[in-house]
Structure 1
Amino acid sequence: MKKYWLLSVLFLTSFTKLFAHEDTSLSVIYTSSVKNLHYLDKNMHVFIDSNNNVDLQLLRGIMFMHLNERPRPKGFKKYMIDSKMYLLFWINNDEDKPRDFFVTPGIYAKECILYTRINNDYPWKEIPGQVVPDKNENAYRYFTVPPGTEMQILVRCSYARTNVIVFKPYLINPIYLDDHISKNHNEWHGVNVFTYLLCGLLLMMMLYSFANYVQNLKRSFLYYSLYSLLIGALLFLKAALHERSTPFNFFYEEYLDYFLQMSGYIFYIGFTRMFLNTPVQYPTLNKMFVIAEIVLGLFLAVFSALYFTGSAYPNLVAVENSSKYFLIFLGIMYVILGIVKRNRLMNYLLAGNVANLLFGGMSQYLISYPSSNLFPDAPLFRQSLVYFEVGIFLELIFFLLGLVYKNKIELIEKVKMDEAMKLEAEKQEYAKQIAVLSAQQDERSRISADMHDELGSGVTAIRLLSEIARKKTKDRPVEEIDRISYNANELMTKMNAIIWSMNAGNDTVDSLVAYIRSYASEYLDNFDMLYRINTPSNLPKLEVSGVKRRNIFLVLKESINNVMKHAGATEVTINVHFSDNNQLIVEIADNGKGIDAEKLNQFGNGLKNMKRRMESIGGTFTITGTNGTRVTLEVPL
């Protein structure tokens, strides 16, 4: 009904005007007035065949109206798109030579054909040679006006099925055509510069994301690289094909830009799902995103089916607008869930989504209402693409911030995991060492028990038998029997020391000090010697390994033996005490003749072995010979 209403308005408006150029002499174009470019708004009449079934030869003047008088109802573009447009003007060559011209109904005009006739009594004839082969521009057609001739020129065309079409009819001097095309393409108020810069950023993000996917096989980076590729391609083609009337640009504006945009959004939603791990972290949000991917896929499939089957343009607009309203609804729901969840990583993507949603909405509003007063009058701010690109740019910035934050979190988690694995490995190693030590302790206990039970009884028997033999031969002493008795006693003492050191139950400071006190007092009681053994009343509750106990005891034993053999002392003092850092200190001091430091080598390997034993357990051995001899043993516990 709207189409027929438009035809009625056109018909009634033009009915009172005569079509003959005698009454519209101001509409005639004289070739001498056309230098480079002539805008046809004052010279052109228009007829819209909304049913696409008007016979060319049946066109009558009453069916046309002047271009400046055409109505501009809301939605006028869709009648232009779905209709055949007939544009009529008169041209008079008032010069003495032929004049050549190009005519265009506008950048996005296609299927242009030029017709001419001398007057209303002649049929329309198609102008030959109007398509110039080396000009790949569908909106420009060529014709020649002979000298002294007036011609009616009829342009039949249709327009690309896109809302970016602009009705701008021009008459162009051929020498100015290339400049005109170049000027239309390049004069975009700086938008193309910003677009190419943004395309470069998207290209870098695509390469970065794909490299991350190749290294880590994370699908989130694959999806983002595809999103960057699709949106980058959309913007690059928008700038590269700007104001070009080529078949590919028609296809891009009609279908490809929507395909790239919707496909990009589908991959961006997939990226968001993988990046936030919504299947695990946010199941409700994940379900919403999955449904959104399916719905956008359906929108794209329906749009493709309608486009390739030649459905009416309003149907395409309805699908496109519905998908954009759905994206707005999805963005609002995402914002609400993001506010509820209050997750910092989600907030970064949420901020990018809000920016994309806000500026994308501004872009869509400017497309729908290009004459709105809500935007500044500067040409740059009247370009809808600018706002769309600002939204993409801000989304990119917030994605990078989110990526940095996520990498930081993953690095911290990786360090924690590495530390946990290291700690677990150390625990396992410690458990192995504990098991080995436990097995060693068990073996030591077994050996010490066997030595006590088997060897101890045998040595004791030898000792008793030697004592019995000594008593029986008291009248005739036998030196060998005395030596057997002595060696048996020594062997018993050494064996007891070994058994004591091997018994894990004696691995304490209490046991070590008690054994030192017991042995020293028992040994020194056999000599006419004054001795003192000083030990602290409160001993630290520390463990001392069997190896340390054995080496400390043997060095102490050797030191006491040296006092009795070499010192010529009448008094000996043994001091046992502990430093603040749990270091055991044992001092053996006598009042004998002392020892000359220059003659220490005369004592052979004895002192060297004592020093080596202490060093083997991380201790020190020192000996001084002033006012008697003082031996100091220091061992960290």
Structure 2
Amino acid sequence: MFNYPLSSLLTVIFTWAAVALSSLFDTSRLGINYIEYAMHGVVLLLTLLVINESTYFGYKIRYYFLTLLASTIFSLMFVSPLAIALIYSVMFCSIFAFYAPVTLCYIYILFIHGLFLVCHALYWQTGWQWSHAGMFMAFHFFALVMTQRMISERSAKEALALTNAKLEATQQLLGSAAAQNERLRLARDLHDEMGHSLTSLIINLDIARRTCSDEQKTQIQACYEQAKQALGTTRIIVSDNRDDIGFDLVTCLIQLAKQTPRLVVNIDITQTIDHVPIDISQCILKCTQEAITNTLKHAPTASEINIALHRNNSDLLLTITDNGQVKGHINFGNGLTGMQERVTQVKGRLSIDKTIQGLKITIRVPYE
């Protein structure tokens, strides 16, 4: 239910303690303001709920927590004349950057400092605190820039990890295709060279056994039977090599899931699925890779993706769902268009639907 990186947890607690304890135990105060005490506790509680990395709380709930946290910080300006609300706001700004576009973060910075100036000038009657506002605005911008840089570095690492996973899957696919091509080449050579030579040998031995003397017939008959057996064995080898050995799709999907960054990828394959043809394997693998890429790129709130592959009569049914919230209509860009083209090429069907949790992609391809 709760999952915190140690560095983030310690940073939040130490920052809160430095602000709250110094404010609460200020000896210059005449009395105890229990409302302020409670608001400090609410700030800590909401901050811990927002930075929780567990998937127990969805991102929709996290936005409610963020709204409550911002409201508490705004209210704190009217409870204490100190600048403690702006210190909390710096911490909030670095968290808010993970959930909102950078433009909205800049709007928040301008709003919170405008509210601070108006509050002190009109409510606390302490004048326009331009120096404090300028100093804390610089802190806000610094926190925002550093957070944006960290987000960019994380995105770059995710893209690199996903690219490496794709390359490994593609390498495995190409290896299987190369092995299949080599088997086909060997099958053709055996059929064209050994098959024809053995057929010619059998014909000559058949003629020889019909025209030879009784003393030689037994030996020639044995050679004739051995040649027929050798031809039969050659035909079996040729047929086996011509058969599509397929591709270990299941193992490749599991490996892709393990190497996917940030997202928790759940694989559900309840039936034995093996010897999948190369073209079908390529379609399913590439579509799965594209779905994961789209989730990482276009659904930053997504934390989980589920991949289910089942055999349904003479079809393979691939279902991919995530928990990233989808707003508006689904636009077919290059990625989704490429998926549609791949599925159509193997005579399959693709459907994309919005769900309460996120996006659902269903692919059905033939599998005999």
TM-score category (smaller protein): 0.3 to 0.5
Rg comparison, structure with higher value:
1
TM-score (norm 1): 0.21
Q: Higher helix proportion, which one?
A: 2
User: Which structure carries more relative contact order (alpha carbon 8 Å, separation 6+)?
Assistant: 2
Q: Higher strand proportion, which one?
A: 1
